[in-house]
Chain A
Amino acid sequence: MPTSAPINIDFYVILATLLFVIGAFGVMIRRNMIVLLMCIELMLNAVNLLMVAFSSYYNNADAQIFVFFIIVVAAAEATVGLSILILAYRQLRSIDISIFNKLKG
């Protein structure tokens, strides 16, 4: 639905930054690993949003292609990440991230 009323780019910049920061906040806070992975997806989406905004601003399709590939990679990463998580759950019987400190040095 093409619209004719333009909007400032600042809006999208602030929005995307805010989403990103919320995602980072979630990553730092949540100890449930699944929710952690979800917050990472949130951050990725924030970036996607900003990229699409700029692509529209510059009338350049490259950014949208890049977003496409980001989605591709996010899918692959989510898959693999979740399977590792299941594996870890089988060993440790918990999804609390603070239990996973075997790399403690």
Chain B
Amino acid sequence: MIATLITQILGALTIAAAMMVVLSKHPVRSVLYLVVTFFFISGLYIMMNAQFLAIVNLIVYAGAIMVLFLFVLMLLNLNKEAEPKTPTLTWVIASIAAGTLFVVFIAALKDIVLVTRPGDQVAVSNIGLVKNLGNTLFTKYVVPFEISSILFISAMVGAILLAKREKQTID
């Protein structure tokens, strides 16, 4: 009962934070709101007993990636006046498109017949625990795991190469 309530409140808060991400004028505030959103999403993960992912989400996403975003924002030294303005027409079109998208998705998904489980409900399971997840990760999915390390290497090399200063840049 309580858990349901908490889940629903967390869901509502997530939506609110996401709206603020999109709508706030200051870019730094957008970043911060996104961090908050990640926190709430991690909360939802915990309610589903996906412990590992909750922590990973916080550490990697909220901790590393968002910090990266903040660094870049600070680097570019932007302020509120430099924020580009979107024309009203774009607002209208985007609103209509997004709204239509939502309605269409819901319509597509509302009648899906899932494999029957007692009461169509998300029960709590134990597979989100670190031990169980680690078991699956290192037995069944070990090859993608190793290959993702190559992905990281290439990303790092790419990032360094791209952001390197050229000799003749005027800066």
Find chain A residues with CB under 8 A from B19 CB.
Answer: 22
Interface residues of B in 20-35 (CB under 8 A from A): 21-22, 27, 30-31, 34
Contact present for B133 and A57 (CB under 8 Å): no
Rounded to whole angstroms, the CA-CA distance of A9 and B98 in the bound complex is 23
The yes or no answer to A103 lying at the interface (CB within 8 A) is no
- Most central of A23, A38, A96 by chain B CB within 10 Å: A38
Assembly CA distance A24 to B60 (angstroms): 23
Q: Are B65 and A12 in contact (CB under 8 A)?
A: no
Please tell me the size bucket of the interface on A: 35 or more
Residues of B at under 8 Å CB distance from A? 1-4, 7-8, 11, 14-15, 18-19, 21-22, 27, 30-31, 34, 37-38, 41, 44-50, 52-53, 56-57, 60-61, 64-65, 68-69, 72-73, 75-76, 78, 82-86, 90-91, 93-95, 97-99, 101-102, 105-106, 109-110, 114-115, 117, 119-125, 127-128, 132-133, 136-137, 140-141, 144, 148, 151-152, 154-156, 158-160, 162-163, 169, 171
